């Protein structure tokens, strides 16, 4: 029997959230499918305009029981009507799973569905969510979180990671990996992974410094001395060190450490590799050096990151 996935939209929703629909569409092509019926719901039905101006067709809220209700988000939290909130309370109480994308978490919180729950949302709105709804437990630096039958995700492309996780729960890891490949994305980022990228945050302004950063990310298992990075940038050691700090705000050593921590964190969350193996493959000379780097960057040791990831998958 096919499962009904209901996407809740409203005036000003973000069109990028519809990428989540594509995940379930592709899931229907997996062996044994189709597995899902997909629906777009809105308070009044009919065309609904997204924040980009593109309209989508929808059907009006009804008393139907849905397997999964997914509430889309917007550029900023929306003001909802009592009828909208009542629908969320009733439909989510009857559904197997309830999920929010980006600021859709504000709507679930308004419906009192997130009280006492661990949740996330777009990093730019996380503190506001916690302030407005103090009964929630907001973890702002997460891709998605599953707490009971409630799933919440960060914004933008995190809707793909969330949807892949839901499909993985239904159809298994192999099918989720196949769908990820079809969508040309990394097999979903773990829920505990940071919303931020060390490489993006450094934002090199010149091609030469960007080349050095890209070289470092591809070769984290190497020693990556300043001389080696300078060669990759086709600059002298002195020119490179000065230009690197001016463009990124970090020394080459600190930048490499940030890239190593990011790679190590992803390995700890997405694999069964031991701490020793992760340290070796990401260029830390030993586990103690990696532990100190994690404490400086993440605020907790690698063992805690790995343990939290396991708990998040239960």
The pLDDT, as a whole number, for residue 198 is 59
pLDDT in tens, 138-164: 988 788 899 999 999 998 889 998 999
- Answer left, alpha or beta for residue 102, where phi above 0 means left and psi between -120 and 50 means alpha: left
The pLDDT, as a whole number, for residue 74 is 93
- For residues 156 and 24, the model is more confident at 24
The pLDDT, as a whole number, for residue 314 is 43
Out of 104-108, 250-254, 282-286, the most confident range is 104-108
For the entire predicted model, the pTM comes to: 0.67
CA nearest neighbour of 150 among 142, 162, 132, 160:
162
Which domains does the chain carry? 3-182 (3.40.50.880), 198-312 (1.10.10.60)
Model confidence at 292: pLDDT above 80: yes
Note whether 27 and 35 are within 8 A (CB): yes
Q: How confident is the model at residue 285 (pLDDT cuts 50, 70, 90)?
A: confident
Note whether 217 and 260 are within 8 A (CB): no
Decide: residue 42, CB within 10 A, 0-12 exposed, 13-18 middle, 19+ buried: buried
- The rounded distance, in Å, linking the Cα atoms of 281 and 196 is 22
The pLDDT, as a whole number, for residue 243 is 94
Out of 138-142, 167-171, 261-265, the most confident range is 167-171
The pLDDT, as a whole number, for residue 187 is 53
For residue 311, how many other CB atoms are within 10 A of its CB? 9
Which residues are part of the catalytic machinery? 102
For residue 114, how many other CB atoms are within 10 A of its CB? 25
């Amino acid at each position: 029997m096919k499962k009904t996935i209901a996407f809740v939209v409203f005036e000003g929703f973000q069109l990028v959230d519809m990428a989540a629909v594509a995940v379930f569409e592709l899931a229907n092509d997996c062996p044994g499918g189709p597995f899902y019926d997909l629906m777009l719901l809105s308070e009044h039905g009919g065309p609904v305009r997204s924040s980009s101006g593109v309209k989508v067709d929808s059907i009006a809220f009804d008393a139907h029981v849905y397997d999964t209700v997914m509430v889309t988000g917007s550029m900023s939290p929306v003001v909802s009507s009592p009828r909208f909130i009542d629908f969320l309370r009733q439909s989510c109480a009857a559904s197997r799973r309830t999920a929010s994308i980006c600021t859709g978490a504000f709507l679930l919180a308004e419906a009192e569905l997130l009280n006492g729950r661990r949740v996330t949302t777009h990093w730019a709105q996380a503190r506001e969510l916690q302030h407005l709804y103090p009964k929630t437990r907001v973890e702002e630096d997460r891709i998605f979180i599953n707490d009971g039958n409630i799933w919440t995700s960060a914004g933008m492309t995190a809707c793909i990671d969330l949807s892949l996780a839901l499909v993985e729960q239904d159809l298994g890891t192999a099918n989720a990996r196949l769908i990820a490949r079809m969508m040309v994305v990394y097999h979903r980022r773990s829920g505990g992974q940071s919303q931020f990228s060390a490489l993006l945050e450094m934002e090199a302004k010149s091609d030469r410094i960007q080349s050095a950063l890209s070289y470092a990310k591809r070769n984290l298992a190497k020693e990556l001395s300043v001389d080696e990075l300078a060669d990759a940038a086709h600059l002298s050691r002195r020119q490179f060190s000065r230009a690197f700090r001016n463009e990124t705000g970090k020394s080459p050593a600190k930048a490499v450490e940030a890239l190593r921590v990011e790679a190590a964190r992803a390995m700890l969350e997405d694999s069964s590799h031991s701490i020793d193996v992760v340290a070796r493959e990401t260029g830390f000379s030993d586990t103690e050096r990696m532990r100190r780097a994690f404490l400086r960057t993440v605020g907790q040791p690698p063992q805690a990151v790995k343990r939290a990831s396991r708990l998040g998958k239960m």
